[in-house]
Structure 1
Amino acid sequence: MGSILIKDTTREERERIVRESLGDGFDVTCGYDDAGIDYQQYIDGKKELRELNAEADCGFVVAHPEEQQKGCNNI
């Protein structure tokens, strides 16, 4: 697969990328509420996937935050 950056893809390609990544039953226009990710922003060319994923509130809790390495958010 080539680049998935907005500058390297068309709107149709971005929609296909999201649809294929999340599965056929996913309605792209509704967003992904469980994680708080609005993939429509990527499809519309407003935000890169890495930005949306970094902003997502997935509800994960780090068991031992003192063991986290600095700079781990390089998504």
Structure 2
Amino acid sequence: MKSLLIKDTTTEERIEIVKTFLSSGSSDCEGIDMDDLYYDYIFGLKELADINREFSEKHAGSVRADNQNRP
């Protein structure tokens, strides 16, 4: 697997990485604009791992994927 780090990818590659992730179905979180979430990664401002960690810290337990509607 190719590195996903900003230093190892172009803007175009990062756009494709995010599109692939968003189309995988694993990103349907109610109330979250996933395109906006990954803007900083696409434009080389913040690594994916940092964005995902910050999101998890901020929203842990408060965001549900549509396909996991469990009580």
TM range (shorter): 0.5 to 0.7
Identity among equivalent pairs (%): 45
Q: Which runs of 5+ in 2 are unaligned?
A: 25-30, 63-71
Q: Select the structure that is richer in helix.
A: 2
CA RMSD of aligned residues (A): 2.8
1:34/1:58 contact within 8 Å kept: no
* Aligned residue type for 1:60: G
- Higher alpha-carbon Rg: 1
Q: Which runs of 5+ in 1 are unaligned?
A: 25-31, 62-75
Q: What is the number of residues matched between the two proteins?
A: 54
* Aligned residue type for 2:40: Q
Which TM-score applies when normalising by structure 1? 0.60
Which TM-score applies when normalising by structure 2? 0.63
Task: Give the structure, 1 or 2, with the largest relative contact order (CA under 8 Å, sep 6 or more).
Answer: 2
- In structure 1, C-alpha distance between the alignment counterparts of 2:11 and 2:33, rounded to whole Å: 24
* Aligned residue type for 2:46: K
Q: Report 1:60-75 matches (<5 A).
A: 60=61
Q: Secondary structure at the match of 2:53?
A: helix
